[in-house]
Structure 1
Amino acid sequence: MEAIFIYIAKSAVLMLLFYCVYFFLLRRETFFNSNRWFLLSGLIISSILPLLSYTKIVWIDATQNLNTNIESALLSIPEKQNSDINWNYVILAFYGIGLLIFLLKLAIDFYSLNAIIKGKKVKQQADFKFIDTQENIAPFSYFEYIVYNSSLYTATELENIIEHEKVHSDQNHTVDVLVSRFFSIIFWFNPIVWLYKKAITQNLEFIADSEASKKLSDKKAYQYTLLKITAHENCVAITNHFYQSLIKKRIVMLNKNQSKKRNSWKYYVVIPALAAFVLLFQIEVIAKEKQQTVKVSGEGKSVEVYKISKNSTDAELKEIKDKLKSIHNIDFEVSDIKRDAKNNLTSIKVDIKNGSQQTQSIQTSTGDVIQDFGVIVITDKEGKKKVGIQTSEEGKAKGSKVAVSKRITTLNLEKDDSDASENSNIIITNNQNSKTNTNVNINSFTSTKTDSDTNTNISTVVTTDKNNTVTTKIITKKDGSTIAISNSTKGKVKLGNQLIIVDGEEMPENFDVETLNAKDIETMRIFKGTEAITRYGDKGNNGVIEIQTRK
């Protein structure tokens, strides 16, 4: 809806620009045909230029604050504030009513025109079709048709009228009339479009008067004919009719000396104005993060993140694929790509394979763009590589929602069931009504689904290794309370010298987690290995425990 309002505003600005140039610089010049094309081009440019934009990419340093915890992202999504009145729909309804009224008026005008022409005797002469009607209406032309009532005029007056209408018909002025009428209907709420329509119609009369007077021997008699026709009030709206208001201006322009050619510079005034409009409004600056490589000091590990954002192009995705293959010998494939009108990603599926290790990320958005994420490659001091997917905090900050987002990671677990792989994440979630804590080793599969009807977010976590399968469902209710249901409690947490974070604050080294009352803990997350290092640097070498207490 916002895009429609922006388009209408830009179009109105451009229309105003062309009208002002015509009104202040060109309307007193006798460049009638040039003015015709200038005014028509103004309408066309004002409707097309707002749709065209140039994208300028600005590269910035990548941020390193990435978050891979989907449950945390769901908990931070703000509730949408519902309003009793949606003003967008009110404005749209108001516009629709006006549009319907003007379309109905146009239909009536076409019906009236058809009633006048249909069934009448037509006299063909060259490319013109003459209809001598008995109705008391002003003479008019509509494409090749020229309609008049011969009984109302003398032979000289009728000759003047016909020569005038022939110019309209021969130069297809009906097209100009219909185009201006079309724009006045679409932009009926804009007062400039009505002034613009009047300027087009008036200039067409200047053209017809100028051309007709050249073919007539008595220019003064032609002007008297103009004065006589002013007595007619019945005109067909969508036609070029001989009678027009502002007869005085037409007579003045008939007797005006031809403008000097050097005055044609006035047409070029609009060019720098259009250039300024493009520079100000039609250049879209997109900030993209550079690929980052983070070295973890003391351990010889490096972490490389290849970022994928909503405006990543196909060429950039191919570049990531080539780099992963050539540098790390990692297979990277994308599929199910969908984009919106602005070429932003709304859906993407990423499959990554590094030997026996496989990672998959699927993002499908219902009308919104995807959340930024990255392909992370960790290389240890022995040259062994591990690959995964990281999601950004930016999606949380904006409150964006993803209908389906899942990761599939297959890693080799150690044989000891009580100690998971160094890359395992452990989430401990405590329910107010639950008397026990559920310890779950998250390692393989995370699927997140949003129920739009109940505003309840459900995360299903499945851990699979040789000896054990643990399934945990984390349900976040509308009121923010969390319920964790697990079919196993295997995979206990070993306490040691991990970094302890309670409610976002770092605890001292001698802090004992067991001193906390289990009922006071709302959520506990434990990160190990590269996940902890990526989040907290060297401090996370021994693992990190994040605890969120109940407020």
Structure 2
Amino acid sequence: MPLSPTLLYLLKANGALLLFALAYFGLLRRLTFFTLNRVYLVFALLFSAVYPALPVPALLPPLEAPAVATAVAVLLPQTTAGAGTPQAGPTAVAAPAETPIDWSAVVLAVYAAGAAVGLLRLLVQLLSLGRLRRTSRPAVVGGVPVRALPGEVSPFSFGSTIYLNPARHPAAELAAVLRHEQVHVRQWHTLDVLLAQVAQAAAWCNPAAWLLRRALLDNLEYLADHAVLAAGLDRRAYQYSLLRLSQGAAGPALVSHFTFLTLKNRVAMMNQPHSSTGQLARYFVAGPLVLALALGYSGARAQGARPAASSQRKTAAPTLPDTRPEPVTHYIDGKVSTVAEVIKLGADNVAFITPLKGDNARKFSGNPQDEYVMAITTKQNQNRADVKAFNARVEAADTETEAEVNVLTPAALAFITKNYPNSRIIEVTKLNHPPTGLGVTYKVHLAEGRRPHYAYFDDKGNAVKL
């Protein structure tokens, strides 16, 4: 099926989104340069939408066009026996051809319908936000103009307006909430949110659009969290406030981004050491690489290169993310507790919080249904013998943590290259509780074809046998 100009535009735009997503999650996601990550993600969405429509000079030599044979109908004279003059033969009557299905139009219609549904959903969210504004009233809290809302609703901002219920927050927490939302307002984060929503609706069948939207929203929260902590707020008290706020009623879907996984990522980024200046080199790899691949493809198309067969396959639409509350089991000093008890506890009484997720959570609780465990230890009981024993169990269950490939030393990479030359690295994890005497140990998941195997290294890159 030949590609129409519209389908070719969509193919290029979605391909560029995929390249930007691969570069971001492979190189940039864990860096603490949040402003640079914001610029990268916004540029990714804008560039992917604009560049297919720009005249791009060919970067590759032209491909030779195949010769096209021209059919020439020749009418041969026929003669009858004994006659010297030619007579025309019988004329063949062609059967009427069936009208072929225009698959290009079908694909475009399906794509347009999906985009229309996404944009309609965005419009409904904006109207819902407008109705919520009409139920609010103007107020001034801590010298900051806000819109006061009734009921148990999480604070949020949209445009230049902050929405919250002042009566729901203690004084210290209210100051942190205002600082957080003021960062969103002053840096115009609403524009990023709307851009990400429109991009997701326009590229609804591309998983990269969903991933980039989630990454952009998370990064905006990292920016606001960083600004709040830079103002001198206590890190532990702020994290506990976020935990308490996540248990309340969510705000409008367009502006509320509280999930357990998002909260866990925010806490992890707050505790993440600042990226070194040398890590800036990753941006000089990610950006030019994506641009070169995208523009190179456009140049090839400009010279008549045929699109790859895989580009003509339809990409299945991803399942819409589940917005239901995620199952979390809370423990306070070793005892299963309710959300109400956690909120009642108060940040000043908490010594530390240890989250467990997935297999680590199920390993700890023994319940195959558990997805998250939140172990909270109070200051009053942190030295009690049974609480210490409980925390030891929690630490023992937290056996592995995902790590970046770049934690491996050159010696470890050289060992893998020498001993597993035909394998690829699938995942690197840090063993939080390695066997005694081995020190910090990393487990590298390798695969050769479909056969998995593992290699273990200490923090100096020396191979370790377990």
Residue identity over aligned pairs, in percent, reads 30
CA contact (8 A) 1:138 1:232 kept: yes
Alpha-carbon spacing, 1:27–1:8, altered in 2? closer, same or farther (3 Å): same
Partner of 2:204: helix, strand, or coil? coil
Partner of 1:134: helix, strand, or coil? coil
| Shift in Å, 1:127 | 11
Equivalent positions of 1:492-511 (< 5 A) are none
Select the structure with the greater relative contact order (CA < 8 A; seq sep ≥ 6). 2
| Shift in Å, 1:253 | 0.9
Which letter maps to 1:54? P
Which letter maps to 2:33? F
**Counterpart in the other structure of 1:41:** 43
Which letter maps to 1:173? H
CA contact (8 A) 1:143 1:172 kept: yes
Instruction: Write out per-residue CA displacement over residues 341-388 of structure 1, whole angstroms, 9 at most, x where no aligned residue.
Output: xxxxxxxxxxxxxxxxxxxxxxxxxxxxxxxxxxxxxxxxxxxxxxxx
**Counterpart in the other structure of 2:225:** 209
- Structure 1 gaps of 5+ residues are 67-77, 288-551
Instruction: Write out per-residue CA displacement over residues 43-90 of structure 1, whole angstroms, 9 at most, x where no aligned residue.
Output: 111112222221589799xx9x99xxxxxxxxxxx9995435332232
Instruction: Write out per-residue CA displacement over residues 151-209 of structure 1, whole angstroms, 9 at most, x where no aligned residue.
Output: 22211111111111111111001110000000001111111100110000001111110
Equivalent positions of 1:132-531 (< 5 A) are 132-239=148-255, 245-270=261-286, 271-283=288-300
CA contact (8 A) 1:226 1:243 kept: no
Match of 1:25 among 19, 27, 34: 27
| Shift in Å, 1:233 | 4.1
Larger radius of gyration: 1
CA contact (8 A) 1:164 1:242 kept: no
| Shift in Å, 1:262 | 1.0
Instruction: Write out per-residue CA displacement over residues 30-49 of structure 1, whole angstroms, 9 at most, x where no aligned residue.
Output: 00110000111111111122
Distance 1:176 1:15 in 2: 16
Partner of 1:13: helix, strand, or coil? helix
Alpha-carbon spacing, 1:170–1:81, altered in 2? closer, same or farther (3 Å): farther
Distance 1:59 1:115 in 2: 58
CA contact (8 A) 2:23 2:290 kept: no
Greater helix content: 2
CA contact (8 A) 2:154 2:251 kept: yes
RMSD: 3.5
Distance 1:100 1:14 in 2: 22
| Shift in Å, 1:227 | 0.6
Which letter maps to 2:297? L
Distance 2:139 2:122 in 1: 28
Which letter maps to 2:280? S
Partner of 2:7: helix, strand, or coil? helix
| Shift in Å, 1:141 | 0.4
**Counterpart in the other structure of 1:535:** none
Partner of 1:138: helix, strand, or coil? coil
Distance 1:151 1:9 in 2: 51
Instruction: Write out per-residue CA displacement over residues 269-312 of structure 1, whole angstroms, 9 at most, x where no aligned residue.
Output: 1303422432333256669xxxxxxxxxxxxxxxxxxxxxxxxx
| Shift in Å, 1:120 | 3.0
Distance 2:96 2:38 in 1: 51
Match of 1:54 among 54, 57, 75: 57
Residue 8 of structure 1 pairs with residue 25 of structure 2: no
Distance 1:39 1:46 in 2: 11
Alpha-carbon spacing, 1:276–1:92, altered in 2? closer, same or farther (3 Å): closer
Identify the range of structure 1 (266-275 vs 231-240) with the bigger mean alpha-carbon deviation: 231-240
Distance 1:119 1:170 in 2: 24
Task: Give the TM-score, by structure 1 length.
Answer: 0.46
**Counterpart in the other structure of 1:387:** none
Partner of 1:54: helix, strand, or coil? coil
Which letter maps to 2:192? D
Which letter maps to 1:141? S
| Shift in Å, 1:25 | 1.2
Task: Give the TM-score, by structure 2 length.
Answer: 0.54
Residue 97 of structure 1 pairs with residue 100 of structure 2: no
Distance 2:109 2:62 in 1: 40
Partner of 1:118: helix, strand, or coil? helix
| Shift in Å, 1:267 | 0.7
| Shift in Å, 1:216 | 3.6
Distance 2:221 2:202 in 1: 24
Alpha-carbon spacing, 1:161–1:89, altered in 2? closer, same or farther (3 Å): same
Partner of 2:273: helix, strand, or coil? coil
CA contact (8 A) 1:173 1:240 kept: no
Partner of 1:282: helix, strand, or coil? helix
**Counterpart in the other structure of 1:455:** none
Distance 2:148 2:110 in 1: 43
Distance 1:54 1:202 in 2: 36
Instruction: Write out per-residue CA displacement over residues 236-278 of structure 1, whole angstroms, 9 at most, x where no aligned residue.
Output: 1222666774211111111211110110010111303422432
CA contact (8 A) 1:140 1:241 kept: no
CA contact (8 A) 1:139 1:161 kept: yes
Question: Following superposition, which runs of at least 4 residues in structure 1 exceed 4 angstroms of deviation?
Answer: 55-60, 78-82, 124-128, 240-245, 283-287
Distance 1:37 1:243 in 2: 24
**Counterpart in the other structure of 1:111:** 127
Alpha-carbon spacing, 1:213–1:264, altered in 2? closer, same or farther (3 Å): same
Instruction: Write out per-residue CA displacement over residues 121-171 of structure 1, whole angstroms, 9 at most, x where no aligned residue.
Output: 223689964011113221100011111112222111111111111111110
CA contact (8 A) 2:157 2:255 kept: yes
**Counterpart in the other structure of 1:534:** none
**Counterpart in the other structure of 2:138:** 122
Distance 2:262 2:216 in 1: 14
Distance 1:224 1:59 in 2: 62
